[in-house]
């Protein structure tokens, strides 16, 4: 791994977090069927609404997280729209592209080019299921970052993530749920690359607390607050890193994603932009920057 030639992702995130004084990550999941009435339920409407969303909410957000699927669904035109929207986001605002990638080494290398180089992602979400072979090309970018799916916020997350795995005598790891083992593995990957964090859902507060004890140094990206009803207080208590490179920085590396909780405010509003700005300001205030725990 080569050394970063500029500020790392966590350094850039800390600067932005200190500026806006919040851990709010603006989720961009533009569902055509959920747009306000004045926006058409097609790509043109999606792009127009997203422009309004970005302009209204960016002043209150530490980062932006576009969900790639909502643009991929429109094919090449959708990806072109995402590229245009990416250019709309100021360089000082980190962009996390929610892609959930991870494949054999050669494929993952091309995924890194597509997401980091073509779409301009500062960070991405990735799957650990194929192991370190799939993760390495996505982590071996010293100025980028990868959030690894660990304990997710969806209702069916426990079906696989809660499965008990055998202890590892060599590593002195006990028998434990799969999501905990993933966190231990990601900690090892982060020791090597310095570019790995975890996706941990706010709908699983007890699991989040356990993961923070197992991986005190990892930055967390937390979905599941807002429309999914996740626990805000538990997230703000256990989300910031307690060690490593993220600790001691504004927010402790924590990002809390809010998507529908902001975008939905425009539905039926006489002034969508004003409603979006007000919702973003409210969530920003509910997710204040925390100092890392001693």
pLDDT of residue 170: 86
pLDDT of residue 4: 57
Would you say the pTM of this structure is higher than 0.75?
yes
Residues annotated catalytic, as ranges: 100
pLDDT of residue 228: 77
Q: CA quadruple 66, 67, 70, 72: dihedral positive or negative?
A: positive
- Domain 9-284 carries which CATH code? 3.20.20.70
Round to whole Å and give the CA distance between 147 and 263.
Answer: 23
Structure confidence by residue, pLDDT tens digits, 227-271: 777 889 999 999 999 988 888 899 999 999 999 999 999 999 999
pLDDT of residue 145: 98
Structure confidence by residue, pLDDT tens digits, 117-158: 999 999 999 999 999 989 999 999 999 999 999 999 998 988
Round to whole Å and give the CA distance between 174 and 180.
Answer: 10
pLDDT of residue 289: 85
pLDDT of residue 246: 87
Q: Could you tell me which residues are beta bridge partners of residue 258?
A: 26
Which segments in the chain show pLDDT lower than 50?
Answer: 291-294
pLDDT of residue 2: 58
Q: What is the DSSP string of 125-173?
A: EE--TT-HHHHHHHH--TT-EEEEEEE-SSTTTHHHHT-EE--BTTTTB
């Amino acid at each position: 791994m080569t050394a970063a030639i500029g500020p790392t992702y966590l350094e850039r995130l800390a600067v932005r977090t200190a500026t806006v004084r919040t851990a709010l990550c603006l989720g961009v999941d533009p569902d055509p069927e959920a747009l306000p009435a004045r926006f058409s339920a097609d790509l043109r409407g999606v792009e127009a609404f997203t422009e309004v969303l970005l302009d209204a909410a960016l002043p209150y957000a530490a980062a932006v997280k576009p969900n790639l699927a909502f643009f991929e669904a429109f094919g090449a035109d959708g990806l072109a729209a995402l590229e245009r929207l990416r250019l709309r986001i100021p360089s000082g605002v980190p962009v996390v592209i929610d892609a959930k990638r991870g494949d054999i080494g050669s494929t993952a290398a091309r995924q890194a080019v597509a997401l980091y180089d073509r779409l301009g992602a500062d960070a991405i979400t990735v799957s650990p299921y194929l192991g370190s072979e799939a993760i390495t090309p996505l982590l071996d970018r010293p100025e980028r970052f990868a959030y690894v799916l660990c304990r997710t916020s969806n209702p069916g997350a426990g079906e696989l993530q809660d499965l008990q795995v055998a202890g590892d005598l060599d590593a002195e790891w006990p028998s434990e749920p799969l999501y905990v083992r993933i966190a231990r593995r990601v900690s090892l990957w982060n020791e090597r690359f310095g570019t790995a964090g975890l996706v941990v859902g706010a709908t699983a507060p007890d699991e989040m607390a356990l993961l923070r004890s197992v991986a005190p140094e990892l930055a967390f990206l937390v979905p599941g607050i807002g429309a999914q009803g996740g626990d805000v207080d538990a997230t703000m208590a256990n989300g910031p890193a307690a060690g490593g490179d993220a600790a001691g920085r504004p927010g402790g590396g924590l990002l809390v994603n809010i998507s529908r909780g902001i975008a939905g405010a425009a539905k039926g509003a006489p002034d969508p932009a004003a409603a979006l700005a007000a919702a973003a300001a409210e969530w920003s205030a509910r997710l204040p920057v925390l100092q890392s725990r001693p």
